[in-house]
Amino acid sequence: MPRDYAYVDYAKLTTQERNPVKRNLQKLRLAHSLHALRELPVDFSGKILDFGAGNGELCKQISSRFPQSQLVCYEPAPMLRKQALQNTQGFHNIKVVGNLQTIENDIFDFIFCLEVFEHLPDGPLEQSLTVQKKLLKTGGRLILGVPNELFLPALLKGSFRLTRRYGEVDARPLNILKAIFGRPPRNRPQVLFDDLPHIIRHIGFDYRKFRKTVEQY
């Protein structure tokens, strides 16, 4: 595999991205996900898991809204987990963890998993869904967020990527054209991310296939 890509500043890829459009889209993504909690009372004291939490920004925002909630911020990549620990300092209801082995089953009222699955090869993807199913309470809610990399969004995103990194797998005209017509490229190169297999580029991710996989669980 190519070099390890773990040495990144997660905030600069998301909520502090240099491009204002992408930066605001990332903030809207978080706001849209938090909409799932809109009916909860301020004194909600249940358990919430952010699965693949990056730098913990979602947990921090949930903690600010629901200070009595119990939050588990799960991030398996050590470098990102370190950023999550720094970002959530002072939020005493957030627990940052690197594995879920000691977490009981059927314990979480809500599980969030945002912009994770498009980066996972098939094996880890299915393993993650299995774990989430075990950890979620009966009647609990699983909130999944994945990108649309097909049709019109593929045209818009592809145009942006062409200007930023022409020639990479997601910035090649033929690959973009395939995605526009709903037939995305199947070859999705993997890299290492803190020694974990990781698909760094979104192109080739097919939400239709992912939906069918989720329905099996």
Asked if 138 and 164 sit in the same domain, the reply is no
- Of 147, 173, 191, at which residue does a domain stop? 147
Asked if 51 and 129 sit in the same domain, the reply is yes
DSSP 68-124: TSEEEEE--SHHHHHHHHHHTTT-TTEEEES--TTSPSS-EEEEEEES-GGGS-HHH
- pLDDT for residue 194: 82
Q: What is the CATH number of the domain that holds 110?
A: 3.40.50.150
Domain count, the chain: 2
The overall longest dimension of the chain from CA atoms, in Å, is 52
| DSSP category for residue 121 | -
Torsion of CA 162, 168, 170, 173, to 10 degrees: 60
- Of 100, 128, 147, at which residue does a domain stop? 147
CA distances from 9 to 2, 46, 54 (A): 19, 30, 10
Asked if 30 and 46 sit in the same domain, the reply is yes
- pLDDT for residue 7: 73
- pLDDT for residue 140: 98
Asked if 136 and 167 sit in the same domain, the reply is no
Cα 208 → chain centroid: 17
> Can you give the residue range of the structural domain that contains 126?
10-147
Asked if 18 and 79 sit in the same domain, the reply is yes
Asked if 157 and 131 sit in the same domain, the reply is no
Both structure tokens of 25:
């889209």
- Tell me how far apart the alpha carbons of residues 34 and 69 are, in angstroms, rounded to a whole number: 14
Asked if 140 and 155 sit in the same domain, the reply is no
Asked if 32 and 75 sit in the same domain, the reply is yes
Q: Is 89 a domain residue?
A: yes
Asked if 133 and 90 sit in the same domain, the reply is yes
Asked if 54 and 74 sit in the same domain, the reply is yes
Q: Is 217 a domain residue?
A: no
Both structure tokens of 153:
């969004």
pTM of the complete model beyond 0.85: yes
Q: Is 1 a domain residue?
A: no
Asked if 31 and 138 sit in the same domain, the reply is yes
Q: Is 5 a domain residue?
A: no
Asked if 169 and 75 sit in the same domain, the reply is no
Of 31, 61, 37, which Cα lies nearest the Cα of 140?
37
Torsion of CA 177, 178, 182, 184, to 10 degrees: -130
Q: Is 192 a domain residue?
A: yes
- pLDDT for residue 196: 87
Q: Is 126 a domain residue?
A: yes
Q: Is 60 a domain residue?
A: yes
- pLDDT for residue 2: 47
- Of 126, 147, 168, at which residue does a domain stop? 147
Judged by DSSP in three states, 144 sits in: strand
Residue 76 contacts residue 196 (beta carbons within 8 Å): yes
Mean pLDDT by 10 residues, the chain (217 residues): 66 91 92 96 99 98 98 96 97 98 97 98 97 98 98 97 96 98 96 89 98 97
- pLDDT for residue 192: 87
- pLDDT for residue 4: 58
